[in-house]
Chains A and B, each alone.
Chain A
Amino acid sequence: MQLECEHKDNCQVEFKVVISEGKIAARYEKELNAVLARVELPGFRAGKAPKHMVASRFNQKIQQEIVQKLISEACAEGIKQHDIQPVALPVVDNIQYKDREELSFTALIEVKPRIEFEDYRNIPLIKQVVEVKDEDVEAQLQQLQEEHATLMDVEDNRPAMKGDVAIVDFEYQVDDVKQSKENSLVEIGRDTALPEFEENLIGLRVGENKTFTLAIPENFINPDIAGKDATFTVKMRELKQKQLPAIDDEFAKDMGEYETIDEVKEAIRKGLEAINEERAQEVLKGKIIMDLLSRCVFSLPKTLVKKETAILCEEFIYYLKAQNICPPEDVLNEESLHQRFQPKAETKLKSLLILEHIALRENITVSDEEYKKWIFTNFRGDAGKIREYLNDEEKKDLKTHEMLIEKILNFLIDNADIKVEMVSQLVEEEVA
């Protein structure tokens, strides 16, 4: 067998193959004997039919089969010989073959693009960490205070005010359809469901009734009544006011392991700082990828892009279905969808390939121990899940790949030239 291997461009390899007559004859004989051993002709027991009869009857079929097999075998061997990493099945062309004579063909194989890229250490980056200000801590503390508020009946049967919590019975009528609800809890002035509804409660005393008409906004949760007019009849049952606890050391003790209010503040500050740090780290990862993409330029194999685009489109459609959104026909058109997602697929593939290339150069891998550790920390005590993740190869591959990407990114951050900058607000950049 003659096999010429030619690198057409970064992501395409062409094989030119010639297979000699002798090899084809031997293969034909082998295939014929295999057919002979199992074929069942009328008048003969299985495998007992005479050779010349089988040969004449199955000639065409056997030849087709061996040509196909020889082609795929030749491609497989070429791939092994030249150490090629294909990403798609070979596209075979120019098949020259006639009745057990010489066979020649060309095969075009798309391969993983070769990446020559070394300049990934000491990437200059600016890490923006959002400063935690005293106001942020105060806001958190206030929220805590709200959460720990106690409800008290209002004194002297005074009318409802903003900030009160009312327990009401109400009826509403939309298009002759009446609905009613009892013992409904409404926090006045929190803008939860219908702001106008809450406003209408202001000034009502316990035991009083009120009837009013409201226009339900178009984007209301319940589509049956959205955009229509509703007539409400409300009866105030109880009215309570919130009593906020004083922020002092006593409050701190209620929170748990804290002694003084300053300790609580410190804990809040640390939590916020950790969140900001994490966010900054995420942004940094996006920036690294953007940087790598801008500096490492190479072309991608078409089939790979197509496949990835198809996956993204599918995910998009799945997402739409899950959200119960039905977009117009022209959006769902396959072509326009592909056009829309192709750039995204390309950047995703490119970044993955670059990261994998770096992993290979730096010998970064995810070991089985690390994977197991991840399982046991994530599904502690859930034997079913643990077993599932231990035994499912597919899940393992997916997760280890994810972990690998994470590891490479961390490696890149560790080796990057990072300037930390404290800012009051994060400047959002477009991140792939």
Chain B
Amino acid sequence: MSKYTGDLFAYKIIKRPIFTEKANDLLTHNTYVFEVAKDVNKFQIRHAIEEIFGVKVTKVNTSNQLGKKRRVRQQMGKTPDWKKAMVTIARGQVIPLFEGM
């Protein structure tokens, strides 16, 4: 069994919604952008979104974002890598999270 089980499995997968200019533009295609756990696949994401928001997901695209290089004094460091998911949902449906913000 994977570690994404139990009552709140969906909230372990979906970390936070992303509000940027680009994400805002994607709303016209009924596409929402989230940061998700690094090691989940598109099926798990689809499952989680449907579980949390009660909507029908038609498409999931993902991309791995490499962390940025940072230097602390002499030492090179790196912000963590993360996974981004662009989730398209069925026409006519809305994820209310974005409306009231």
Q: Which of A13-63 contact B (CB under 8 A)?
A: 41, 43-45, 48, 50, 52-53, 56
Residues on the B chain within 8 Å of A41, using CB: 19
In the complex, A44→B22 CA distance in Å?
9
Q: Looking at the complex, which one of A43, A48, A50 makes contact with B18 (CB distance below 8 Å)?
A: A43
The docked-state distance in angstroms from the alpha carbon of A43 to that of B16 is 14
Number of A-B residue pairs, CB cutoff 8 Å, is 19
Task: Say yes or no: A45 contacts B100, CB within 8 Å.
Answer: no
CB-CB contacts of B51-62 with A at 8 A, as 1s and 0s? 000000000000
* Inter-chain contact B21/A45, CB cutoff 8 Å: yes
Any chain A CB within 8 A of the CB of B24?
yes
Are B101 and A52 in contact (CB-based, < 8 A)? Answer: yes
Minimum CB–CB distance from B32 to chain A (whole Å) comes to: 14
- Interface range for B: under 10
Cβ-neighbour of A48 out of B21, B99, B100, B101 (below 8 A): B21
A44 pairs with B20, CB closer than 8 A: yes
A44 to B18, CA, bound (A): 11
* Distance in Å: Cβ of A182 to nearest Cβ of chain B: 76
CB-nearest residue of chain A to B24? A50
* Cα(A43)–Cα(B19), bound, Å: 6
Q: Which residues of A contact B21 (CB under 8 A)?
A: 43-45, 48
Find chain B residues with CB under 8 A from A52 CB.
99-101
Q: Among A41, A43, A52, A56, find the residue whose CB has the most chain B CB atoms closer than 10 A.
A: A43
B73-101 Cβ-contact flags toward A at 8 Å (1 or 0): 00000000000000000000000000111
| Interface size range on A against B | under 10
Residues on A with C-beta less than 8 A from B99 are 52
Contacts of A48 in B (CB 8 A): 21
* B19 x A53 contact (CB < 8 A): yes
Main secondary structure of the interface of A (DSSP, over half): loop
Distance of A35 from chain B, by nearest CB (Å): 16
The answer to whether B101 touches A56 (Cβ under 8 A) is yes
Q: How far is the CB of A218 from chain B (nearest CB, A)?
A: 73
B100–A56 touching, CB < 8 Å: yes
- Residue among B18, B19, B23 with max Cβ neighbours from chain A (10 Å): B19
Q: Nearest Cβ in chain B — how far from A51, in angstroms?
A: 11
CA distance A44 to B21 in the complex (A): 5
Nearest-neighbor residue (CB-CB) of B21 within chain A: A44
Q: How far is the CB of A149 from chain B (nearest CB, A)?
A: 91
CB nearest to A41 among chain B residues: B19
Complex interface residues of chain B between 17 and 38 (CB less than 8 A to chain A): 18-21, 23-24
Q: Which residues of A contact B23 (CB under 8 A)?
A: 43
Whole-angstrom CA separation of A52 from B99 in the bound complex:
8
A48 to B25, CA, bound (A): 11
Q: With A and B bound together, what is the CA distance between A41 and B21 in angstroms?
A: 10
- Which chain A positions have C-beta within 8 A of B101? 52-53, 56
Nearest-Cβ distance from residue B72 to partner chain A, whole angstroms: 22
Residue of chain A at shortest CB distance from B100: A56
Give the docked Cα–Cα distance between A56 and B20 (Å): 16
Bound CA span A124–B20, Å = 84
For the complex, give the distance between the alpha carbons of A259 and B71 in Å.
Answer: 101
Query: By the criterion CB–CB under 8 Å, are A43 and B100 in contact?
Result: no
Per-residue CB proximity of A76-108 to B under 8 Å, as 1/0? 000000000000000000000000000000000
B18 neighbours in A (Cβ, 8 Å): 43
- The 5 A-B residue pairs with the shortest CB-CB distance, nearest first, are A43-B20, A44-B21, A50-B24, A43-B19, A48-B21
Question: A interface vs B, CB < 8 Å?
Answer: 41, 43-45, 48, 50, 52-53, 56
Known: A44-B20, A52-B100, A53-B101. 10 other contacts (CB 8 A): A43-B19, A43-B20, A43-B21, A43-B23, A44-B21, A45-B21, A48-B21, A50-B24, A56-B100, A56-B101
Can you list 19 residue pairs at the A/B interface with Cβ under 8 Å?
A41-B19, A43-B18, A43-B19, A43-B20, A43-B21, A43-B23, A44-B20, A44-B21, A44-B24, A45-B21, A48-B21, A50-B24, A52-B99, A52-B100, A52-B101, A53-B19, A53-B101, A56-B100, A56-B101
